[in-house]
Structure 1
């Protein structure tokens, strides 16, 4: 018999208190933080399903250029690599903000979130310049099925990043006004999950859209 079983059998309260947190089941609802995180993961999975459809459409339409330019003729991998670096670095600074929130250090939290915001804005600026350059060269979303799929997928991700930045600024304001209350900590958890998910999706975009598209 294990120590936990013997403790329960003999009803030793001292042993039972010493075994708290070692995986013994207990009655009662799960903490709100766990329930909130679980529910938000379900939302993220629905979002990932949507992006999967965009990825599938892009893969099918990759060669459908209608006599127009292909990805190899259009994509500037150096600029895209810079975008990728900014977004991945923003994921790191977002993690630092989460750690700062966990220890209730507002100064480091605000600083890390501000850097995350700047990196996100740099990413959006580079992406906007890329879109403007493509349209100026006659390679807009109506030029071919390939470009329609490209603008739909990459543009949808850019819209998510824009929404994430607005959410980030909201969280900075809430912490400044109300501190690290329990409900705000749960919102920060959801924001961090959302931001990291965007980075994971972008790795897929960089690999499938840009690297694969440049080889065709």
Structure 2
């Protein structure tokens, strides 16, 4: 692959990006399994509540807006990185991470609300599969926040190099992947569950 982008500038960098795409294939399999489990168990509520009884539109819209905005911000960070603008790269990654933390804060309050109204993980097959799917996505966002912080520190210390550009670009692929997963959660779990 011929490109002028710093993140692809060495053979090792190109192989790392290819390897990460393969890793994302495994992540697709993981989330595909979680979605399949959820769709199989969605109507098995037992004596617990159904989605239409526990889902609230406002927090879900906030989570969606915040996460999609963070995806836009990481795209701006990659663009700034490619332009060699260290300050803008750091700024956009910082905004991405702050939005990610905001998402996690809303999601945690949503989980507390679910447990408070009797929709804990042991209540029914539905709540178990729902909270496992949402929790796995949230755990990935949490990991991403720590990963992004490490990359932020490396860019701050070393500047924009072939190595830091490669790491930041791979991180952006991961973050975009989490946003795509969230779009599926928003569409097929929340919106469908509210109907």
Q: TM range, normalised to the smaller chain?
A: over 0.9
Q: What secondary structure, in the 3-state scheme, does the structure 2 residue paired with 1:197 have?
A: helix
Q: TM-score, normalised by structure 2?
A: 0.93
Number of residue equivalences: 188
**Counterpart pick for 1:132 among 95, 98, 112:** 112
Q: How much has 1:136 moved relative to structure 2? A: 1.1
Structure 2: gaps spanning 5 or more residues? 3-9
Q: How far, CA to CA, are the matches of 2:16 and 2:179 in structure 1?
A: 21
TM-score by length of 1: 0.84
Question: SS at 2:44's partner residue?
Answer: coil
The within-5 A match list for 1:73-84 is 73-84=53-64
Return the alpha-carbon distance in structure 2 between the equivalents of residues 130 and 196 of structure 1.
23
Shift of 1:114: 1.1
- Alpha-carbon distance in structure 1 between the residues aligned to 2:125 and 2:194: 16
Map of 1:160-179 to 2, 5 A cutoff?
A: 160-179=140-159
Q: 2:48 matched to 1:68?
A: yes
Alignment of 1:113-132 (within 5 A): 113-132=93-112
1:166 and 1:43 map into 2 onto residues whose CA distance is 18
Aligned counterpart for 2:129 among listed residues 149, 156, 166: 149
4+ aligned runs moved over 2 Å, structure 1: 30-34
Structure whose alpha-carbon radius of gyration is higher: 1
Bigger RCO of structures 1 and 2 (CA < 8 A, at least 6 apart): 2
